[in-house]
């Protein structure tokens, strides 16, 4: 299989009863999650052709992750239409993307109809209820190649016009294979996802978890304005790995949330997006001295990151944190 579906299939075979994806409402074992994604893919087959774009207008939750894989089962690529963006910007993105269909949910269907009046819509609930057409899915996957697109992320639109960055399957597998190996991410990990799904930091969360059979815990977006509940969530889920934007980590230190409760299960904190303030780094190191801290750098176009620096425990970094060395390849 020439795409990231191989990650999900192998992990479902190895760990069928292990939690694959969870949020604040529901959880799926690997067997359940794999079946759900195949049902979604089967439901999309009559609505799409291979290598077409499919928009995803869903809340940030475990079911949205299932939609991403279902879209790939159908041989298509996804682009997240962030529900928090203004309607005008979403219409601009949809006009550029020209999706074959937009996947939404029953709760958001009226809103989606208003924002995307010219786009075909389908509810995730409808797709999830489809029977799995194993033969049709296998036929589509037999024609897949590793340079097929997997997702399109749209830039912030600093010029006024959002531009889509297309990333192919080989780029993701090449990166994730070495990313998980370098930072010892295994089936024992619980990766707490902070990044919105239209931000490529989330790619590391989703596909690292699926690659190794770890658990992906999707942190509800509203918790990032409620630091106490955020700490409760991380402790409840026994999170081991944070691959977060610096701004999200600074929210924790800015509200002194680690003084309320420290997630002792954390083993790895990888950060990117901007320069890590030394004050915030020191606060984390004070509460979590044995955690492995990693500075990551890279633009969306390079597939998440191109350099990394593993912080040294006895170094104060008063002169700044290095951008690091290149990832393999």
Q: What is the mean pLDDT of residues 247-264?
A: 96
Q: Give the pLDDT confidence score for residue 241 in this predicted structure.
A: 98
- Going by pLDDT thresholds of 50, 70 and 90, the confidence category of residue 158 is low
Q: Is the pLDDT of residue 157 over 70?
A: no
Q: Give the pLDDT confidence score for residue 161 in this predicted structure.
A: 79
pTM beyond 0.85: yes
| 156: region left, alpha or beta (phi > 0 left; psi from -120 to 50 alpha) | alpha
Residue 231 tokens read as: 């700490």
Q: Is the pLDDT of residue 1 over 80?
A: no
CA pair distance 82, 280, nearest whole angstrom? 29
CA pair distance 283, 276, nearest whole angstrom? 12
Question: Helix, strand, or coil here: 168?
Answer: strand
* Three-class HEC string of 175-231: HHHHHHHHCCCCCCCEEEECCCCCCCHHHHHHHHHHHHCCEEEECCHHHHHCHHHHH
Q: Give the pLDDT confidence score for residue 272 in this predicted structure.
A: 96
Least confident of 74-78, 159-163, 176-180, 183-187: 159-163
* Three-class HEC string of 36-80: HHHHHHHHHHHHCCCCCEEEECCCCCHHHHHHHHHHHHCCCEEEE
Q: What is the pLDDT of residues 19-43, one digit of tens each?
A: 999 999 999 999 999 999 999 999 9
Q: Is the pLDDT of residue 301 over 70?
A: yes
Q: What is the mean pLDDT of residues 39-63?
A: 98
Residue 139 tokens read as: 């036929």
Q: What is the mean pLDDT of residues 151-176?
A: 89
Q: What is the mean pLDDT of residues 130-142?
A: 97
Q: Give the pLDDT confidence score for residue 156 in this predicted structure.
A: 72
CA pair distance 284, 242, nearest whole angstrom? 12
Q: Give the pLDDT confidence score for residue 138 in this predicted structure.
A: 97
Average pLDDT, the chain: 96
Q: Give the pLDDT confidence score for residue 92 in this predicted structure.
A: 92
Please give the share of the chain, as a percent, with pLDDT higher than 90. 95
Q: Is the pLDDT of residue 159 over 90?
A: no
Q: What is the mean pLDDT of residues 244-259?
A: 96
């Amino acid at each position: 299989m020439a795409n990231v579906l191989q990650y999900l299939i192998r992990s479902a075979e190895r760990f069928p009863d292990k939690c694959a994806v969870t949020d604040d409402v529901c959880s799926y074992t690997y067997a359940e999650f794999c079946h759900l994604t195949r049902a979604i893919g089967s439901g999309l087959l009559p609505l799409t052709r291979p290598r077409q774009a499919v928009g995803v207008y869903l809340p940030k939750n475990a079911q949205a992750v299932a939609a991403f894989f279902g879209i790939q089962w159908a041989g298509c690529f996804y682009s997240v239409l962030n529900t928090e963006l203004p309607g005008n910007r979403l219409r601009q993105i949809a006009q550029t993307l020209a999706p074959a269909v937009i996947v939404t949910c029953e709760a958001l269907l009226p809103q989606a109809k208003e924002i995307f009046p010219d786009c075909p819509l389908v509810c995730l609930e409808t797709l999830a209820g489809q029977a799995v057409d194993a033969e049709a899915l296998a036929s589509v996957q037999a024609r897949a190649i590793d340079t097929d697109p997997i997702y399109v992320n749209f830039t912030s639109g600093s010029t006024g016009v959002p531009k889509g960055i297309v990333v192919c399957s080989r780029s993701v597998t090449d990166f994730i294979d070495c990313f998980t190996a370098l930072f010892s991410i295994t089936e024992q990990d619980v990766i707490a996802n902070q990044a919105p799904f239209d931000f490529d930091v989330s790619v590391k969360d989703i596909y690292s978890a699926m690659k190794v059979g770890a658990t992906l815990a999707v942190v509800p977006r509203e918790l990032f304005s409620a630091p106490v509940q955020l700490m409760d969530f991380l402790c409840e889920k026994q999170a081991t790995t944070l691959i977060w934007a610096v701004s999200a980590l600074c929210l924790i230190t800015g509200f002194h949330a680690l003084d309320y409760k420290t997630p002792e299960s954390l083993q790895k904190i990888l950060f990117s997006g901007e320069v890590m303030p030394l004050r915030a780094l020191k606060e984390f190191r004070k509460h979590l001295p044995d955690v492995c801290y990693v500075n990551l750098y890279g633009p969306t176009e390079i597939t998440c990151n191109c350099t990394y620096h593993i912080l040294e425990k006895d170094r104060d970094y008063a002169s700044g944190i290095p951008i690091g060395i290149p990832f393999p390849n």
